Amino acid sequence: MNYHVDRVSWQKTQGQLRQIRERVFVYELHLPKEVEFDQHDKTAEHVLVRDENQCPIGTGRLCCDGLISRIAIIRSHRNREAYQSLIGFLSILAEQKGYENVFVQCILDEVPTFLKSGFSKQGSVFMEAGIPRQRMKCPVKEINSEPFTMLH
């Protein structure tokens, strides 16, 4: 299946972005809604992934500090091609913005997978939404979409 990714404005498309993120993070993963939407939404670069019928199926964002977050793809489209399209687009945005590194905040179980894919640990383990997480860093030119699945 072919996926199309567009850079979108939070102000204009927040209804679609919220719908996808609520479906994945709030209803499926049971994360608190008040944690899902934060101050970064207004300033981050957002992307919207559409399927070949132009139906919105995924989203993600690149924050001002190089953090890639809120990676959400609806269950029926969770496949390597969808994630590659999304992460590839976000890494291009990061390069265009002149970032040398990008960051993720993964759950502890995912740390070994990100380490194998060229990421390194940054700082101490911290809690978000009751889940222990580790901030990870990777040079933007070396980012690999392999370890990515849903990423809050």
pLDDT in tens, 45-83: 999 999 999 999 999 999 999 999 999 999 999 999 999
Q: Give domain status of residue 147, yes or no.
A: no
Q: Give domain status of residue 148, yes or no.
A: no
Residue type, 24: V
pTM (2 decimals)?
Answer: 0.92
Six-digit token string for 87: 């992460």
Q: Give domain status of residue 150, yes or no.
A: no
Number of domain units in the chain: 1
CATH of the domain at 79: 3.40.630.30
Spatial distance between the Cα atoms of 95 and 102, rounded to a whole number of angstroms: 9
Residue-number span of the structural domain to which 75 is assigned? 4-139
Six-digit token string for 68: 């890639």
pLDDT in tens, 106-149: 999 999 999 999 999 999 999 988 889 999 999 999 998 877 77
Q: Give domain status of residue 89, yes or no.
A: yes
Q: Give domain status of residue 149, yes or no.
A: no
